């Protein structure tokens, strides 16, 4: 795209060893006037590849997802007043680019916009099982939002009016099943910490407000909180919900595999949540800095 046709928009791309994804990601947002790669000191070819595409590089040691991204939004001097946040394994489609360009030409009516995600697993779009549209607030005015205080699966808190775009971005990260298991093991530990804090910790005002009647993350958080407070056999219920109720079986083999893996992820969270009830357990010691003071004493299980 010619420089004169660039959209007055800054793009933030967090990275850590993303040499496999960074070129395709940057190319998908090459129509934006400023691209900032926010790197956690990658030791592969991420930085040389990004520099070869004229991206601006900012580096910081990673601590947790919300603190890391909030630092970027508060400390990077973005060139434009609008910011688009894109993970390295995500791609902006041509249809979404046109929608964003049209939005800017007509002057946005909102302060931030949710964008749906098409999540791919094993090179296949997971259309069903409750995985689409997977709303994420990614386009916003600089200074109008920050991420909630959550170490994983964090969502944006917007100070203003939110809208929803029609076209989706693509979440495509095929690094093999071995990497998938490694990542899910880490994420399930962090999720167990957040569930522990929700059940036994103090109320955190810096998180999204769960609501059954909202659209997107607020509704998902409401259902998740209800499930962890009141539902037995959560892993099995999650499989039934994804595979049968949300029609995951219509996605064939991929739908079955993905539903089973999500059931196992839920089981991991449940087991780690139980282990966290022992303050001397390895997981409690590892994540001690993120465990909130308890308002009630959890029942220690043997």
- In tens digits, the chain (302 residues) has pLDDT values of 556 689 999 999 999 999 999 999 999 999 999 999 999 999 999 999 999 999 999 999 999 999 999 999 999 999 999 999 999 999 999 999 999 999 999 989 999 999 999 999 999 999 999 999 999 999 999 999 999 999 999 999 999 999 999 999 999 977 889 999 999 999 999 999 999 999 998 767 678 888 888 888 988 898 888 999 988 999 999 999 999 999 999 999 999 999 999 999 999 999 999 999 999 999 999 999 999 877 665 655 44
At which of 150, 171, 192 does a domain end? 171
99 within a domain of the structure (yes/no) = yes
Boundary of a domain, candidates 118, 141, 171: 171
Domain count, the chain: 2
Cα distance between residue 154 and residue 81, in whole Å: 23
CATH code: domain of residue 10: 3.90.550.10
299 domain residue, yes or no = no
The secondary structure element, H or E, covering residue 149 is none
Judge whether 105 lies within some domain: yes
* DSSP 8-state symbol, 291: P
Q: Which domain holds residue 12?
A: 3-171
Beta bridge partners of 58: 38
Q: Is 236 helix (H, G, I), strand (E, B) or coil?
A: helix
Nearest to 71 by CA among 8, 159, 12: 12
């Amino acid at each position: 795209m010619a420089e004169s046709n660039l959209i007055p928009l800054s793009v933030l791309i967090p990275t850590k060893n993303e040499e496999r994804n960074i070129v395709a990601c940057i190319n998908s947002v090459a129509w934006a006037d400023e691209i900032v790669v926010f790197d956690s000191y990658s030791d592969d070819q991420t930085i040389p590849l990004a520099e070869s595409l004229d991206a601006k590089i900012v580096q910081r040691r990673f601590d947790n997802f919300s603190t890391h991204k909030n630092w970027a939004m508060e400390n990077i001097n973005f060139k434009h007043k609008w910011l688009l946040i894109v993970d390295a394994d995500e791609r902006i489609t041509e249809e979404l680019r046109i929608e964003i360009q049209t939005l800017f030409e007509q002057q946005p009516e909102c302060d931030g916009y949710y964008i749906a995600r098409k999540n791919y697993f094993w090179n296949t779009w997971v259309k069903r099982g409750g995985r689409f549209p997977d709303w994420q607030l990614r386009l916003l005015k600089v200074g109008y939002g920050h991420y909630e205080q959550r170490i994983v699966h964090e969502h944006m808190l917007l100070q203003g009016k939110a809208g929803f775009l029609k076209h989706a971005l693509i979440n495509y990260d095929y690094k093999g099943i071995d990497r998938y298991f490694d990542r899910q093991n880490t994420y399930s530990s962090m999720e167990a910490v957040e569930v522990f804090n929700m059940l036994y910790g103090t109320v955190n005002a810096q998180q999204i407000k769960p609501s059954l009647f909202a659209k997107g993350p607020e509704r998902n958080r409401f259902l998740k909180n209800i499930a962890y407070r009141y539902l037995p056999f959560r892993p099995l219920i999650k499989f039934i919900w994804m595979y049968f109720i949300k029609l995951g079986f219509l996605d064939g083999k991929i739908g079955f595999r993905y539903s089973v893996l999500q059931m196992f992820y839920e089981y991991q969270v449940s087991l780690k949540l139980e282990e966290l009830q022992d303050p001397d357990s390895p997981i409690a010691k590892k994540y001690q800095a993120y465990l909130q003071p308890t308002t009630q004493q959890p029942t220690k299980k043997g």
